[in-house]
Chain A
Amino acid sequence: MYAYIIRRLWQMIPTLLGVVLLVFILFNFVGGDPAYVLAGKISSAEQIENIRRQLGVDQPYYVQLWIFIKQVVTGDFGASWSTNEPVSQIILTRLGPSLMILIPWLIISTLIAIGLALAVAYVRGSLTDRAVMIVCTVGLSISILVYIIVFQYFFAYKLGWFPVQGWGNGFWENLVVYSSLPIIILLVVSIAPELRLYRTFVLDEVNQDYVRTARAKGVSENRIMWVHVLRNASIPIITNVMATLPGLLIGAFLIESFFSIPGIGREVLLAVNRSDFPVIKAITIYVAVATMVFNLLADLTYKAVDPRVQLK
């Protein structure tokens, strides 16, 4: 097992190098020159060159790439080009609000989707199953933007159940007052696709021989579904949940923008609009690392859930 983990960690290095190269190429050839934005309304070529020199974008590409690699190794991405705020501080201060929305959402969404998936799989083919699937398909077809606009208008503005936007100072105030509506919107958006997916995983299992055997032995339906079926369906579910986890670290762009939540998703949008490469670099790299780490964790969890799984 340890050998497996060490091998997987080693494998991350070439993947990370690939990400570094891709980000570097995209920024330098698609991203635009930040010096012209930073130079202000009127600037001379000399001033622009001065800015380029200070940012280091006048260096040959191989030098810039080497600096980038050193930043990845040391974890020090310097300061934002537009605000001079240290990048580490940007990430640390923006991560909290994003996680406050996304962690409750992920837990609630996963639990609801699994519960509903087991329920509709149990009554598969019935009117209830079909109705739920139709609702899911309709729900899937609607953009998150529509949900945000409609929910913000009706539940926050018209009915006054939630604040229209904002972020407070205390943990509970933020969680209960300001995060509730964003979490509800994310749940509405995410449960439909997850439910369909998990239902398929469950259906794959309910037709297996071991389920038939359990029924023949008189095991209760509850135990069959929640213990036997769920355990076997959990590997693809874990894969799906683990694949979602790195997304938590880049926040929910639209939700954060519409509800004025000072999260990392909003910061990413801002950095892209400002061509703020240090921030873009740092966030891309740490999401890439998180993805690889969560993939590894997923594999390790398979083993814990199903001892038959061999880690090679």
Chain B
Amino acid sequence: MPRVAVANNPAAPRRRRAAALLCALTLALAALPSSAADMNKVVRHVFPVAEEGFDPQAAHDLYSGSVEQVIFETLLTYDYLARPARIVPLTAAALPEVTDEGKTYLIRLKKGIHFTPDPAFKGQQRELVAADYAYSIKRLFDPKLRSPWTWLLDGKIVGLDEAAAAAKQSGKFDYDAKIAGLEVVDRYTLRIRLKQPDYNLPYLLAHEPLSAVAREVVEAYGDAGGRVMANPVGTGPYMLAKWVRSSKIFLEANPDFRGFVWDFAPGSDPEDARIVAQMKGKQMPQVGRVEISIMEEDQSRLLAFQNDELDLMNLEGPLAPKVMNGAALTPDLQKQGVKLSRFVDPEITYHYWNMLDPVVGGLATEKIALRRAMAMAYDVDEEIRVVRNGQAVEATFPVPPGVVGHDPNYRGIVKYDPAEANALLDKFGYRKGADGWRTLPDGKPLLIRYASRPDSLGRQQDEMWKKAFDSIAIRMEVQKDKFPELLKLEKQCKLQMRTASWIADYPDGDNFMQLLYGKNSYQSNNGCAVIPEFDTRYERAQRLPAGPERDQLYREMARIAEVYAPWRLDISRYRNMLVQPRVLGYKKHPVLHSEWQYIDIDTAKQGG
């Protein structure tokens, strides 16, 4: 009867409609994104080099990575303020559960994270699931994609290399085939099984090549190689609004982003307290739009910043003397309220010798003596002063500051000492000939070919080394080649000597110590150094988590590298970020490429 009564009540349909409307409104409000981004808050950033595109598994340049990092999301990320960099969950609900002595990682995802709506999803809301990460990891191994990031997981995950080998045979990667080491336990749980213990996997899971992409998007927009450079669809705080290739990149806050509350603990840096006071408790992201300009020329970038056309700018070495007095900004910039976010980059620059080269290579005593003499003849202080404009520190330990495994108390034995270098050469039979130049111990001419790029930095380095070689009476000639050709010769171990740099892919010492590991010859081990004492320690260190035992091994490896001298550690450069006064909460992170989602803009001071 009540049913009839209701049906007979003329007001009932209206009430039902009102109730339904209220219900729908409540649901709609609940579904509204928590993003607090204000579209009037704009950050204008600059890249000095053009981007490639925004496929996290396919693009490999730093600048594409900076954009990918805010469009896509990794399972883990880094705490914004913690130094040294500390891993925290991003789309993962918690840090991975590590079992089997570092061989098995179980990762659970947060529920309710969604990709930005896109026609590829055919009108359906698309939730981020564990299978997306499994798919993205598989993409790294698809030969058709030719990912430059395969090495991150090469030889590590059970069954993945075999799947890649099968794809090479068949010409098609089978994304649906089960891979033992990449198990989607359920919709939100991923289990990764490794062939060997690897305590660095969490760092890799925070690296943008391991961001989640949706298979539907790749299938909808992928080119012949399966790359999706121009249609990035992710779950991150920003989305690509407009892209004028090699010129402008416009990002807008993702309205569907779940948001987060700014709640980072200050570290020991006094600047942190000010940042926390500015930002704590804010719903993020605050910045609604990010406008990135690509400006190749130093002068254009600096004038644009000084002219208030940019909010953030990385100050490269040649520009430093124009706006910096040593470690501080010039008084006029300080007066304008411009801030400087400065730290030593997690990178090393080093001069290496080809250990397979008949003149400078090998482990024979006289070859070691030759390399050590060359190392001692090089004046790093002068390079820092003259070439680097004071914007670098001498590197004495292979693991740079800010990277786990760095030892600030390590005292290197390689010092600038041309007299000692000459004595060493005399002792090992590198005698001076009638023309004043030294010869090999067997009396043959001694000539070192130093390879460098035909740019201004290359020419300055040529001059530095020429001066060093002259001081020990060794003839030197410069081998000039374009970058691709140098890279090719380097990978083939055909360069006798060159200066190279390595910036951290992840902030762990392993990323640097692997540069001298024998099995990485023809890859990242530029000089093809095979030093058994080093290699055995490296293999032991790889199986250890970061800690005192591994640190001790690293110290021994650093000493072995100094003794055998396959390289001469050179410098680590400062990163100097210029920040306009209206930017709030900015602190350059040593590993993250972009910080736009962690900062705010004082709209009262918004630039033109």
Contact = CB atoms under 8 A, between A and B. Distances in A.
Interface of A: 31-45, 47-48, 50-51, 54, 79, 82-85, 90, 93, 149, 152-153, 156-157, 160, 163-167, 257-262, 266-267, 269-270, 273, 275
Contacts of A37: 483-484, 487
Question: Interface centre among B154, B230, B293, B307, by most A CB within 10 Å?
Answer: B307
Interface in B469-515: 481-485, 487-488, 491, 505
A150 to B, nearest CB: 10
A206 B406 CA distance: 80
A258 B523 contact: no
A121 B536 CA distance: 83
Contacts of A164: 300, 303-304, 307, 309
B50 interface: yes
B227 A36 contact: no
Main secondary structure of the interface of B (DSSP, over half): loop
Contacts of B484: 31-34, 36-37, 275
Contacts of A83: 52-53, 229, 245
B479 to A, nearest CB: 14
14 contacts: A33-B488, A38-B146, A39-B146, A42-B524, A43-B491, A47-B150, A79-B223, A90-B245, A160-B307, A260-B295, A262-B247, A266-B246, A266-B247, A266-B296
B151 A40 contact: yes
B225 A267 contact: no
Contacts, number: 136
Contacts of A93: 244-245
B433 interface: no
A257 B299 contact: no
Question: Interface centre among B60, B144, B230, B297, by most A CB within 10 Å?
Answer: B297
Contacts of A257: 296-297, 300
B309 A165 contact: yes
B306 interface: yes
Contacts of B194: none
A54 B52 CA distance: 18
Given A41-B151, A85-B245, A260 B300 contact: yes
B348 interface: no
B294 interface: yes
Contacts of B248: 167, 262
Given A32-B482, A33-B484, A260 B294 contact: yes
B149 interface: yes
B281 interface: no
Contacts of B295: 165, 260
A156 B307 contact: yes
Nearest to A165: B300
Given A153-B299, A260-B295, A32 B244 contact: no
Contact of B523 (A31, A44, A273): A44
Contacts of A85: 53, 229-230, 245
A40 to B, nearest CB: 3
B146 A47 contact: yes
